[in-house]
Structure 1
């Protein structure tokens, strides 16, 4: 069994006492919100009445301070990766009746934390949503992956106004398009969910101790989500009424039976329709883009949560990526999109709580478990050859 890896760096360097005093470490990745971390440490009073991790002592300074940069690299030997690269947002010591009951809670956010500090009023003239996202990311020194949002918000037709922080503004634009917004390391992302990428390692449930790596898995299917989105507006120039309808999903289906297939032949179900909340639109193309974004949100009819034994799973499950789930029967086995993962490290174990969603049920290759070789992540090398991607292992902790 591969050894666990957990590396914590503060302002670019490791502090040995963090590992010695760590009670628990949690890193949370989630859709539409900044990634966060929480680190709980034991603290001890020195002979000079100063406290470890709170006050600078002799030798290298170990005191933790607001806005220090914290990087957490974790996983397993040969496949560790950066879970979060961010800043300390708060510290809370708890002084007990004796030193063994005293602790320090340190929490923080990824780099997007710096995008939430200043509220602004900005007029974005003649820009697409994607242009705005790229400019904001660049203003914070971030590289970016931004998907073209097509619609230009012209000054004369529909001026795009920002009132609030850069992060809140971008989050509103992403929600309107059905895009995902997040920062990973030093790169910002503003794009549609990637549903056609190489899947992560399989989650296996209900298949016995020999093959299962999940502690629990709890899915549900929701049948009351509208499958058609209507939208309308009055053209302020031509004084005409314009409407359109999105009745076909604009995104890839992760199974054989989508929401419309579930309703087929059921007269009571009808064809559920929603009227998109009216906002100011400058063009029919903008209207269509907004309606497609609403439809993307309604597509996720299967939602689930569960928990992994990290030692059995053998990798760090990542949010905003595809993961196959096996052993849940014909309805609930298949590829899922991961929306949230909470990684929890203690000296004894590594647990991963996860939340996933799916826009369809069933799968063509029902129930087939991929072999370990098939589960290795692959990238395309020069000359078109396929190679296995590995990472240098970080600090080892107890298996």
Structure 2
């Protein structure tokens, strides 16, 4: 599927997906993929006429059955292959039409984190196990489907005395790991690739890969490689968060600690920082231990919000490669105020025959670039 130096590969099937047969590839009409800091998803639209093999043979045989059917999508642009989705089907919709060629079969799915959200554990205990050990123990169950854990221990140790408390899990594995991530200010997500069938389950601080992608260029005549790009500055996004902890000696005197809204893991990338517009007080921290409160405060410091955002659309063939989320990218042609480096928060892929476009969302903190030039 696709032309002009772009090739889409579709692997589908239970257990280990295999290349889709020709009749499936020929019937594929459109692909939508969303990649963000939360849950990734995909949607495949097929032409499904009355005499189609998809409707008469593959659909009844369970070829597109939810949960048990895995889908891997790879895109090759100018010889560079990228895994843009590895997930499972969650829904199928058949829409017959009285018009010739208008009947469609739509397959919707989510990334492999959905497999971690199917079984609720009644009451799983982890005696004397730190958070990092619990994360690795839970993720080990999913090695069979190609999930490789990459987990970073919390900065401060968190081992509890089994005589005083037993860490326990209720709910699904996904919900529990995200709960643990929230406790220490971390994020958890599953990133497909780098090869088909392999996925990285990341548990750690929200760090963006500091290797900038080729710049997004706007309003630059022949050098322009984006179809649209707009920026906004939200003056209400910056805030000072105040946490309250009890003094470690008596445990009775509340001590307010202001936390600035600047992430130490994600540099602002702007010279002129916006002024904080509001003050927020975090509840529920006074009863935490000193270690838990410190980890929670570090999480607030790491996950500060960005006040400058950008949204746009690009044609992948003109850009020359696939724009990836959770990485950095340069911007040029937007003027002195908004040029410079940004974080790519989310990307959605839209593929049709002869067309591959991406919608993207960018962010950074501060106006006016702090670098003299961006990557070509």
Taking structure 2 as the reference length, the TM-score comes to: 0.84
**Aligned equivalents of 1:19, 1:334: Cα separation in 2:** 40
Once the two structures are superposed, what CA deviation does each residue of 1:186-229 show, in whole Å capped at 9, x if it has no partner?
32111222235211121111222x11111111221122234432
The alpha-carbon deviation at position 115 of structure 1 amounts to 0.3
In 2 relative to 1, CA 335–178 (structure 1 residues): closer, same or farther, beyond 3 Å? farther
Tell me if the contact between 2:217 and 2:224 (Cα under 8 Å) persists in the aligned partners. Answer: yes
The alpha-carbon deviation at position 242 of structure 1 amounts to 4.7
**Counterpart in the other structure of 2:98:** 97
The alpha-carbon deviation at position 161 of structure 1 amounts to 4.1
**Counterpart in the other structure of 1:218:** 230
In 2 relative to 1, CA 278–231 (structure 1 residues): closer, same or farther, beyond 3 Å? same
Secondary structure of the 2:213 match is: coil
**Aligned equivalents of 2:375, 2:301: Cα separation in 1:** 32
The alpha-carbon deviation at position 31 of structure 1 amounts to 0.8
Report matched runs for 1:1-399 at 5 Å: 3-10=5-12, 11-33=17-39, 35-46=40-51, 51-56=52-57, 63-66=63-66, 67-120=68-121, 121-141=123-143, 142-149=147-154, 150-155=156-161, 160-185=167-192, 186-195=199-208, 197-208=210-221, 210-234=222-246, 238-243=250-255, 244-247=257-260, 249-257=263-271, 261-263=273-275, 272-279=278-285, 282-366=288-372, 368-371=373-376
In 2 relative to 1, CA 159–277 (structure 1 residues): closer, same or farther, beyond 3 Å? farther
The alpha-carbon deviation at position 281 of structure 1 amounts to 5.3
Secondary structure of the 1:331 match is: coil
CA RMSD of aligned residues (A): 2.7
Secondary structure of the 1:362 match is: strand
**Aligned equivalents of 2:6, 2:214: Cα separation in 1:** 16
In 2 relative to 1, CA 316–245 (structure 1 residues): closer, same or farther, beyond 3 Å? same
Structure 1's unaligned 5+ residue stretches are 264-268, 372-399
Secondary structure of the 1:201 match is: strand
Tell me if the contact between 1:326 and 1:334 (Cα under 8 Å) persists in the aligned partners. Answer: yes
Tell me if the contact between 2:187 and 2:205 (Cα under 8 Å) persists in the aligned partners. Answer: yes
In 2 relative to 1, CA 256–355 (structure 1 residues): closer, same or farther, beyond 3 Å? closer
Secondary structure of the 2:303 match is: helix
In 2 relative to 1, CA 300–280 (structure 1 residues): closer, same or farther, beyond 3 Å? same
Tell me if the contact between 2:274 and 2:307 (Cα under 8 Å) persists in the aligned partners. Answer: no
Higher RCO, Cα 8 Å, sep 6+: 1
The alpha-carbon deviation at position 347 of structure 1 amounts to 0.6
Tell me if the contact between 2:63 and 2:69 (Cα under 8 Å) persists in the aligned partners. Answer: no
**Aligned equivalents of 2:62, 2:215: Cα separation in 1:** 40
Tell me if the contact between 2:310 and 2:363 (Cα under 8 Å) persists in the aligned partners. Answer: yes
In 2 relative to 1, CA 2–199 (structure 1 residues): closer, same or farther, beyond 3 Å? farther
**Aligned equivalents of 1:334, 1:84: Cα separation in 2:** 29
Tell me if the contact between 2:37 and 2:345 (Cα under 8 Å) persists in the aligned partners. Answer: yes
The alpha-carbon deviation at position 8 of structure 1 amounts to 0.5
Pairs aligned (count): 353
Off by >6 Å, runs of 4+ in structure 1: none
Secondary structure of the 2:296 match is: helix
In 2 relative to 1, CA 254–245 (structure 1 residues): closer, same or farther, beyond 3 Å? closer
The alpha-carbon deviation at position 158 of structure 1 amounts to 6.2
Once the two structures are superposed, what CA deviation does each residue of 1:274-296 show, in whole Å capped at 9, x if it has no partner?
21232575422321221232233
In 2 relative to 1, CA 123–30 (structure 1 residues): closer, same or farther, beyond 3 Å? same
In 2 relative to 1, CA 176–338 (structure 1 residues): closer, same or farther, beyond 3 Å? farther
The alpha-carbon deviation at position 301 of structure 1 amounts to 1.4
Secondary structure of the 1:137 match is: helix
**Counterpart in the other structure of 2:195:** none
Tell me if the contact between 2:184 and 2:292 (Cα under 8 Å) persists in the aligned partners. Answer: no
